[in-house]
Amino acid sequence: MTEDDARAWIANHLDVSRETWEKLDRYVAILLAEMRVQNLIAESTRPHIWARHIVDSAQLLPLTAEAADGRWIDLGSGAGLPGIVMALLMDRPVLMVESRRKRIDFLSGLLEELDLAHAAVFGGRVEAVPATAAAIISARAYAPLPRLFESAVHLADEKTLWVLPKGRNAQNELEAARSAWQGAFHVEQSVTDADSAIIVARSVTSVRRKGRG
């Protein structure tokens, strides 16, 4: 996918206002400028930032069409992918969870710079986020699937929709998780890479905990 293809995909698949386009462009500019201070994205992806990062995040939105009302929680938000992109594309409340101080500061600055009053940053580990029932949980390059579920299960209930980009290891990670976790799982192909996939899950439950009940 070229950069022109990436922008065309957004225009064709999402309802994006002129103001949102301007904010997306502003976000990309800020992200690239911040690369002089901290390594937020792989250097090799800079020339392809719209395809590799913006559309790679934005493609999650159509997968959440049937999600319940409520908050979107993004784990290990880092550069704001997909958390900031989601906050720019929708009005749903977004909570980004990040434990590294420089990245917490970067994300907090973005919320002010881009006027994202419906989004917030939790500075700390995922395990420290107060228990809740998110409508949607996302995580991009955060942790292998079994550890991801273990760290975040207190943020979900049976209605929570999990949208988890997993690159080329999606199927392997899903198989590794099945011994300890059950739920309704399926795999969606990424629009940015034919070899990459997104795990979509609902009703995720620990087999161990269910057995104890």
User: CB under 8 Å to 167, separation ≥6 — which residues?
Assistant: 193, 196, 197
- For the chain, percent of residues with pLDDT exceeding 70: 98
Global pTM exceeds 0.85: yes
Q: Write the pLDDT tens digit of every residue in 150-204.
A: 999 999 999 999 999 987 888 888 888 888 999 999 999 999 988 889 999 999 9
pLDDT at 213: 44
In 158-174, which positions are buried (b, 16+ CB within 10 angstroms) versus exposed (e)? eebbbbbbbeeebeebb
pLDDT at 201: 95
Helix, strand, coil: what percent of the chain each, to 5?
45, 20, 35
Q: Side by side, which strands form the sheet with 136-139? A: 119-123, 94-98, 72-75, 136-139, 161-167, 197-206, 181-189
Query: Residue ranges of the alpha helices (H) in 55-197?
Result: 56-58, 83-89, 101-113, 145-152, 170-177
Structure tokens at 55: 């559309």
Bridge partners (DSSP) listed for residue 198 = 165, 188
Q: List, for the chain, all residue ranges whose pLDDT scores fall below the cut of 70.
A: 209-213
> Of 180, 177, 173, which is closest to residue 209 (Cα–Cα)?
180
> Of 149, 127, 134, 48, which is closest to residue 83 (Cα–Cα)?
134
Cα dist. 125→94, 100, 101, 111 in Å? 17, 9, 11, 20
Instruction: In whole angstroms, give the CA distance from residue 123 to residue 131.
Output: 15
